[in-house]
Amino acid sequence: MTLSAAEVSNLKKAATVDGVLPAIQGRWSPRAFSDRDVSAADLARVFEAARWAASSYNEQPWRFLVGARNSVTYKKIFGSLMPFNQGWAGSAPVLILGATRTEFSHNDAPNRNALYDLGAASSYLTLQAAALGLATHQMAGFDEAAARQALEIPEEFALGAIIALGYQGEPAALANEQLLAQEVAPRQRKPLNDFVFSEWGVAADVG
């Protein structure tokens, strides 16, 4: 018997140390979305969170193209997705494409942190979404050239990820057995010793 959305949400909650923000514990990436729309007020809140992300020289190089279901922008973003992602992402009520300016606006010098800064803003967005009870799923699987052409994105902007945004749906709605298995599988992460070092390859003692 397939788990319910509530059961999966509980299963996916991160087992972590005391004091970690609830939004971090609860954020995960479902592929099953309900048909419930996201309010304009909540959309404003998630983008307001992204607005306050840190960036090199306070450049704020990110741009987000947002499309609500049935809009022209939504259809263009959806059309750039790889077939595997199209198989489930069309149930999400909102699709967002992140882009970032690769040169500083004050002197046109290369901004090597542009994608880093876009990632930071996207993380703020997803965590604010989680705090509001919304679900997000970020995707690298899309045709960048098709997205750039369809959405008329200037060449000086690099593309990041496409984010599906909405409310978690019932896993049983996923017809694909592979997707369903991923949806109900427990979350896993590397231990801190694998990536927090005191010197290269030596685990730091962070408790």
Phi, psi of 175 (to 5 degrees): -75, -30
Region 5-203: CATH code: 3.40.109.10
Residue 149 to residue 139: CA distance in whole angstroms: 19
Give me 117's structure tokens.
Answer: 């800064």
Terminal C-alpha separation, the chain: 40
- CB distance 130 to 89 below 8 Å: no
- CB distance 137 to 30 below 8 Å: yes
Q: What is the pTM of this model?
A: 0.96
E strand spans, 50-147: 62-68, 94-101, 135-139
Check residue 1 and give its pLDDT: 61
- The Cα-based distances of 78 to 20, 86, 89, 141, 178 in angstroms read 34, 7, 8, 11, 21
Strand partners, 103: 110
DSSP element (H, E) containing 157: strand 157-166
Spell out the per-residue pLDDT of the chain, length 207, in tens: 679 999 999 999 998 889 999 999 999 999 999 999 999 999 999 999 999 999 999 999 999 999 999 999 999 999 999 999 999 999 999 999 999 999 999 999 999 999 999 999 999 999 999 999 999 999 999 999 999 999 999 999 999 999 999 999 999 999 889 999 999 999 999 999 999 999 999 999 997
